[in-house]
Structure 1
Amino acid sequence: MTDPAALMGVMRTRLIWALQSQRGHRLPFVAVAFGVGVGAYFSLPVEPSIRVLSAIALAALAAFAVGYWLRETFGGVAVVLGVACLGLLIAALRTHSVAAPVLAFRYYGAIEGRIVKIDRSASDKMRLTLDRVRLANMSPDRTPKYVRVSLHGAQPYLAPAPGQRVMMTGHLSPPNGPTEPGGFDFQRHAWFQSMGGVGYTRTPALLAAPDPGELWLQSLRANIAAGLADRIGGQAGGVAAAVAVGDRAGIDAPTMEDLRASNLAHLLAISGLHMGLLAGFVFMSVRGGLAMISPLALRYPIKKWAALVALPAAAFYLALSGGSVATQRAFIQVAVMLAAILCDRRALTLRSVAIAALIVLAWRPEALLGPGFQMSFAATTAMVVIFSGMRGHTPRLPMGVAQVSAVLMSSIIAGAATAPISAAHFNQIGQYGVLANLLSVPMMGTIVMPLMVVAAVLSPFGLEGVALWGMALGLDWILWVSAFVAGLDGALRLIPAPSNVVLPLLCLGCLWCIAWQGRARWIGVVPAIAAFALWAATPRPMVLISASGNLVGVQTSQGRALSKPRGDGFVAQNWLAADGLPKDQEQAAARWSMDAETDHGLVHLYGRGAQDRVAQACRRSHAVVANKDYDAPEGCLFLSPTVLRSTGAIAVTQDGRVITSRQTQGNRPWVPRAGQAPDLAPLQYVRMSPTSRP
């Protein structure tokens, strides 16, 4: 028989050998461990107390000490655990450092503030983000640091520009929670932007004071966007403004739909593609120009000089673009790569990607939860792995052909790497996205971005006309491709939403396959396959109730039936998208009418005379949902807006479990305090088709 002690010794030796074989490849594991710590913090059901955080800090120090003591054996494992603890601590620190007042009630009255950002809402309304906010009868310590107001109706008295101080009469509310339990948490998103109120105005906004010049950079961005839109014209001008300075206000809704359906919307986000193309063009131009001067090329490190020029160019582009999180992340990645050149290191390695990820997560831990971070690093990591593996195995090609081939290959790799993430977040896949990108990304990389740099260099001399003309041709081609591909049959495939464990499981499995050196890397295939299996088996809730009480959705044999053809349109679109259905609220409302076959289900009351029907609805139904606080008899589960404030959106699963948004959000700083939730047990008996009386 085998000696157990000898067997344990052999296993220990093999494990130590496996760990030591990772020397020189451990930095990616550090970045992954840091991300795991950040993710663990955001998944906690309760905000950790100071005592708990102190204990975690001590555990991190102990892990680092053990890692140093066992550095020749299991020290790496201890360090990884310590880094995970550090990630959790930094995420907690970031959460409390951005704390700002949040409205606790619906506000209507005078709103005054300084414009710091102008964009458009999903309904194509102009939207202003204001700081230095003043609200009527509200003390400064209770006033939100930032608010966001959509401008509805005609605005004849204001041409919004950054730096202006404006006043209006409007509605503000606290940021809304998820549209369904486990969905995107806008309250958390707004918390990290210090945004304490969102709303709208239907009256004209007025200019209270002109721009004093404090926000000169934002004003420069606005002027450049207006100039590009005017000089290039049409939708190409709007796209040019988006690519140059991140201003999408000039792009209409149909164009945006075409770009999304063709999987080309990423060309509008100033991210890794744009930052890399711009920095790469500046780097290659400077290096190529210096190479033509023989005394300099032979005696001096012109490659490093080119990197030194490209770095401030990228930094200026970061500032000019508005400095969104996606652009900041892209700049950090480019800066790390340029720094590698200055240090005589390879620019594109997993080490550089890991360093960039660590910097981004240490600076903005909440970025881990966003699709921008996930898609950007998925694409970059995949390209580094594939191109590193191809090094030395590709034929030599002419310079122009090699560049175009590299762009095409990058598009295919990035599209494949980001497709699952995009499908999980946006519930759709552009089935011909590879074709659209193959036809468009080379144009963006070889024509549009280089000419944008040339136009910027020539504009002080008034010679940018030819460059802008070339940009217009390139952008017109991209828009034509997007419209053509979006118009193909089956261009857009709708995907049901996965459970919240699918993406972490898939990413960790893929990262293990990439980072681990040796045959054990293929262990990562198991969680990746399990993630797709879980995705396919994830059931959608049988019943959904919006947090406002204004909409109810129930699964039927024809798809989700909605209780109203209009109202809570944003919620309706999110529910239908998560079901993998077209975002047609009227069509979904028609299913409700067709399947109203029983008087023993769920009743939704709204409109005139709803109060008169409350008692009857309570007698014949398990639960009643209403969009107003009507009087209800004792013993009736009456879900009014006041009751729903304590629960948030509600879901009833296929097996009868009742889940609320407050339960999935947990007791966290960005979740408003709520009263005692009612007993929702009667909802588990809602099995039949819905009934409604409009």
Structure 2
Amino acid sequence: MLCAPADCVVETGCRGATAAFRRLAANAHSTAEHDILGYRVNRIGVRRGTQGRVVTEGICAFLAGVWLLQQLPALPAPSWSWLMPLLLPALGRGPWLRLPAALSLGFLLALVQAHWNLGYRLQPELEGKSLQVTGTLASVVQEDARRLRFDLEPDTLTLAGQAVPAPRRIRLSWYRSDQRPRPGERWRLLLRLKRPRGFANPAGFDYAGWLYRQGVDATGYVRSSPLNRRLGPPRWDSLLLRLRHRIGRLIDLRVANRPGAGLLRALVIGDRSGLEREQRELLRRTGTSHLVAISGLHIGIVAGFGFLLGRFLWGRSSLLSGRFAAQRAGAVAGLGAALLYAALAGFSIPTRRALIMTAVVLGGVALNRPVRPSRALAQVLLLVLLTDTGAVLAPGFWLSFGAVAVILGALSGRLHRPATAAGVGRIQLAVSLGLLPLLLAWSLPVSLASPLINLLLVPLFSMLVVPLALLATLAGLVSDALGGLLFHGLGMALEWFWSGLGLIDTMTASWQLAGGVERPLWQVVALVGGVLLLQSPAGIPGRWLGLLPLLLLIWPPTQPPPRPGGFRFDLLDVGQGMAAVIRTRQHTLVYDAGPRYSARFDAGRAILAPFLQWSGVGRIDRLILSNGDADHSGGARGLLREIPAGRIQSGEPERIGLVGVEPCRAGEAWSWDGVRFRFLHPTAGEWRGNDASCVLRVEGRAGSLLLTGDIERPAERSLLRQAGRQLDVDLVVVPHHGSRTSSSPGLVAATSPRFALVAAGYRNRFGFPRPEVVARWRAAGAAVAGTAGEGAIHFEFGADGELTGPSGWRRDHARYWNGDP
């Protein structure tokens, strides 16, 4: 049971929260009984026929309370959790008291768990310090050409020989290491750590939130040091972890350099790190990502095979069948098989959720106590929330429970038992339609062809791919020859799978609705109403009217464009690099594409492209890569794979590596929608490196801005001579990320901006921006803001002459897990 720290909440309050729905406040004058999770409880004036409704209402209110807590930018004081015991009696009253009490209990239990989780985070004063840790490797080791990645559970953490509070779990990278640590081993390492943090951009992935859900309290890297050494062999309790590691290495060996290797690792041990970015995107576009995440589908498959096999074998013995029904024995076998598969997948969050659902259903069969499906779903929902209130932060939580609810509704209404392919197809269509509002609410891509694709692939994975993958794994652990043969065949088959899925993706490209588009609440509500009407029983008149809200999908919402003479400016958070977007009424200019961090991740594809899609931009009119350095141009290829560009320019076109890149030259000017653009640098001559950066001035009715790239003092002196009064602007992006080699006093005085923005990564290794540079801009009267602290920074240069901003995405969309300490 989860309990809060002693200084946060008394133990009785925590116990009361976890038992809130095991009893509904027993009352001596009750006339009806409830049975929830095995506890018989009472309530006045409730007929037996309404028991399920009362329980479901209470659990839904509890869910709403948990969800509300997750929307807060900061947590309330933990002392509020004292209210939990006081709220329990209200659960036995009428709905006007019962439902608010259930909602409040959900809110307070989530508050207790959130304070408990955040209490283990790395202390802010330890960020960037050299720390010595002893601990145990607690995950499968992921390896690529550059680094090793693994999780460590610390035993001790010291700074200069003094013990300091240790996080529960640390995610580490070890670059260029000749060591090969194995799961379960104890190590002593020298580390540099920081608190969990991610980029903060519109339509961006919340990495800090993902780390929070995984229970990771710090991230960092291993420093090169003679102190780094193995302290002992793997511990006995790491047997399962070592087995998962061995299976992963076995798959890598047997299916090496084939597209199916990553998919097999995902299906067998739940490790999706081997999937290439293109494969992940293909799965998302076709609505088949659930096929490679070990969750309800896969656990259900294994439990079903275990049930059938256990029932068959048990039924062969009349002696055993006489003592214990084969049906019940099959349920025990199915539950055991599901437990083993979940363990093999590392008990990941989706796996635990599916295992709880399986345990409730098969447990009822094994105990000869059939559970109504709707009641079972509500009980599973409650159990998941009691054990992990943070589960509501994941789209998979809503999609999995939503899918089961839709299936139950379809089976209890029109479809009953689908004995034909047409019946199964109708269920698949119902699920796809029912999940549509959830996908749109989470800004996920929607494929209108996904019902047909899943109708083909779900049986294929259920009956062939998953069972054969597990069989090949078992055979590989016993016999190299047999395992190698099965893995070779699976590898070839999965190559065909990827090729076929790619072909389907190409054929159905026009059926896809791009993700990352934020829809207003009224559209989501209208879509929910339309889906509910379409899913209603056949006797209800006017069901066809549910199709009308679906027409909203044809016209995705777009932001109203600026009026002529106005423009929008966004400086995105891409870490240690730069990417900016300028949008006029009918045109889009992108200045720099951010860095390329690895073969699988670059800012252009992961940050810029989703932002442009979120903004309704389908084509870049002009892409300017200020110079050839990787932190400015590394994301260009990834960006262009997603969104085409009309014209590409750079201060160092020969270093970009793209066809058709033109040089930018001082004096070139153009106008878009009443907004004027002019290059101020580089002038004619031999400019190289940072000083070759394109310097762009943009002016509208509300003011002007200056984009400076990486120019240093030689280029700044040239600008002062050549540009003169054109340097006087309202907003400057500080040159070279705030390096001391830039931002000379002359440039600062000549620009005299109201705002100075710094594009730099959080706690970057260069120490940008330098304190003396920040002080220089502030002394000139500029308000200084940086992407490291603010995330993406937005300004609106209005056509009415008003300049509004800055607005920082991290501050305006803060959540308690990603705010600054």
TM category (shorter chain) comes to 0.7 to 0.9
Structure-2 residue corresponding to 1:306: 330
Map of 1:437-516 to 2, 5 A cutoff?
Answer: 437-455=454-472, 462=479, 468=487, 471-472=490-491, 475-488=494-507, 490=509, 493-498=513-518
Structure-1 residue corresponding to 2:820: 672
**Is the alpha carbon distance of 1:120 and 1:223 closer, same or farther for their aligned partners in structure 2, counting shifts above 3 Å?**
closer
Which one of 593, 597, 601 corresponds to residue 565 of structure 1? 593
Show CA shifts across 1:554-609 (max 9, x none): 33446654432233815435523533657954667968998662333343444232
Structure-2 residue corresponding to 1:578: 614
Which one of 205, 230, 234 corresponds to residue 253 of structure 2? 230
Q: CA deviation at 1:226?
A: 1.7
SS for the counterpart of 1:601 is: strand
Structure-1 separation of matches of 2:199 and 2:47: 42
Structure-1 residue corresponding to 2:101: 82
The answer to whether structure 1 residue 275 and structure 2 residue 304 are counterparts is no
Q: CA deviation at 1:326?
A: 1.0
Structure-2 separation of matches of 1:82 and 1:472: 54
* Alpha-carbon contact 1:546-1:649 (below 8 Å) kept: yes
Structure-1 residue corresponding to 2:234: 212
Show CA shifts across 1:481-517 (max 9, x none): 2232234362654234326857985898699989999
SS for the counterpart of 1:563 is: strand
Q: Give the counterpart letter for 2:179 in structure 1.
A: L
Structure-1 separation of matches of 2:108 and 2:536: 26
Show CA shifts across 1:286-312 (max 9, x none): 223444556766875211110011112
The answer to whether structure 1 residue 43 and structure 2 residue 71 are counterparts is yes
Structure-1 separation of matches of 2:113 and 2:452: 41
Structure-2 residue corresponding to 1:660: 808
* Alpha-carbon contact 2:410-2:535 (below 8 Å) kept: no
* Alpha-carbon contact 2:593-2:608 (below 8 Å) kept: no
Q: Give the counterpart letter for 2:704 in structure 1.
A: G
Q: CA deviation at 1:338?
A: 0.9
* Alpha-carbon contact 2:441-2:524 (below 8 Å) kept: no
Structure-2 separation of matches of 1:94 and 1:327: 21
The answer to whether structure 1 residue 335 and structure 2 residue 359 are counterparts is yes
Structure-2 residue corresponding to 1:619: 752
Q: Give the counterpart letter for 2:752 in structure 1.
A: R
Query: What's the TM-score once normalised by structure 1's chain length?
Result: 0.76
* Alpha-carbon contact 2:80-2:108 (below 8 Å) kept: no
SS for the counterpart of 1:384 is: helix
Structure-1 residue corresponding to 2:722: none
Map of 1:510-549 to 2, 5 A cutoff?
Answer: 536-537=556-557, 539=559, 542-546=568-572
* Alpha-carbon contact 1:336-1:352 (below 8 Å) kept: yes
Map of 1:280-299 to 2, 5 A cutoff?
Answer: 280-291=304-315
Which one of 97, 117, 126 corresponds to residue 116 of structure 2? 97
**Is the alpha carbon distance of 1:392 and 1:166 closer, same or farther for their aligned partners in structure 2, counting shifts above 3 Å?**
closer
The answer to whether structure 1 residue 418 and structure 2 residue 551 are counterparts is no
Map of 1:64-463 to 2, 5 A cutoff?
Answer: 64-65=91-92, 67=93, 75-98=94-117, 99-104=119-124, 106-107=127-128, 109=130, 114-118=136-140, 126-132=148-154, 134=157, 137=160, 139-152=162-175, 154-155=176-177, 157-165=178-186, 172-176=193-197, 179-180=200-201, 185-200=206-221, 208-209=230-231, 211-214=233-236, 215-233=238-256, 234-291=258-315, 300-344=324-368, 349-390=373-414, 392=416, 394=418, 396=419, 411-425=428-442, 427-455=444-472, 462=479
**Is the alpha carbon distance of 1:350 and 1:608 closer, same or farther for their aligned partners in structure 2, counting shifts above 3 Å?**
same
Structure-1 separation of matches of 2:164 and 2:523: 39
Q: CA deviation at 1:352?
A: 1.3
Structure-1 separation of matches of 2:143 and 2:586: 31
**Is the alpha carbon distance of 1:359 and 1:100 closer, same or farther for their aligned partners in structure 2, counting shifts above 3 Å?**
same
Q: CA deviation at 1:101?
A: 3.1
* Alpha-carbon contact 1:103-1:196 (below 8 Å) kept: no
Structure-2 separation of matches of 1:339 and 1:361: 19
* Alpha-carbon contact 1:623-1:636 (below 8 Å) kept: no
Structure-1 separation of matches of 2:107 and 2:542: 28
Q: Percent identity?
A: 22
Q: Which moved more, 1:498-507 or 1:35-44?
A: 498-507
Structure-2 separation of matches of 1:165 and 1:576: 46
* Alpha-carbon contact 2:414-2:538 (below 8 Å) kept: no
Ranked by relative contact order (alpha carbons within 8 Å, sequence separation 6 or more), the top structure is 1
Q: Extract unaligned runs of 5+ from structure 1.
A: 1-15, 68-74, 674-694
Structure-2 residue corresponding to 1:7: none
Q: Which has the larger radius of gyration?
A: 2
Q: Give the counterpart letter for 1:30 in structure 2.
A: G
* Structure showing the higher helix proportion among its residues: 1
SS for the counterpart of 1:100 is: coil
Structure-1 separation of matches of 2:345 and 2:475: 19
Show CA shifts across 1:444-465 (max 9, x none): 1111223345456666764666
**Is the alpha carbon distance of 1:480 and 1:576 closer, same or farther for their aligned partners in structure 2, counting shifts above 3 Å?**
same
* Alpha-carbon contact 2:193-2:220 (below 8 Å) kept: yes
Q: Give the counterpart letter for 1:91 in structure 2.
A: A
Q: Extract unaligned runs of 5+ from structure 2.
A: 1-43, 562-567, 596-601, 619-634, 650-663, 665-669, 678-697, 713-734, 736-742, 761-768, 799-803
SS for the counterpart of 2:777 is: coil
* Alpha-carbon contact 2:185-2:235 (below 8 Å) kept: no
**Is the alpha carbon distance of 1:51 and 1:302 closer, same or farther for their aligned partners in structure 2, counting shifts above 3 Å?**
same
**Is the alpha carbon distance of 1:667 and 1:318 closer, same or farther for their aligned partners in structure 2, counting shifts above 3 Å?**
closer
Q: Give the counterpart letter for 2:571 in structure 1.
A: I
**Is the alpha carbon distance of 1:311 and 1:216 closer, same or farther for their aligned partners in structure 2, counting shifts above 3 Å?**
same
* Structure showing the higher strand proportion among its residues: 2
Q: Give the counterpart letter for 1:129 in structure 2.
A: D
Q: Which moved more, 1:372-381 or 1:196-205?
A: 196-205
Q: CA deviation at 1:406?
A: 7.0
SS for the counterpart of 2:196 is: coil
SS for the counterpart of 2:201 is: coil
Q: Which moved more, 1:439-448 or 1:130-139?
A: 130-139
Which one of 702, 705, 710 corresponds to residue 607 of structure 1? 710
Q: Which moved more, 1:462-471 or 1:192-201?
A: 462-471
Structure-1 separation of matches of 2:300 and 2:416: 23
Q: Give the counterpart letter for 1:490 in structure 2.
A: A
SS for the counterpart of 1:323 is: coil
Structure-1 separation of matches of 2:794 and 2:816: 20
Q: CA deviation at 1:177?
A: 5.1
**Is the alpha carbon distance of 1:243 and 1:192 closer, same or farther for their aligned partners in structure 2, counting shifts above 3 Å?**
closer
* Alpha-carbon contact 2:428-2:455 (below 8 Å) kept: yes
**Is the alpha carbon distance of 1:347 and 1:447 closer, same or farther for their aligned partners in structure 2, counting shifts above 3 Å?**
farther
* Alpha-carbon contact 1:179-1:574 (below 8 Å) kept: no
Q: CA deviation at 1:387?
A: 2.2
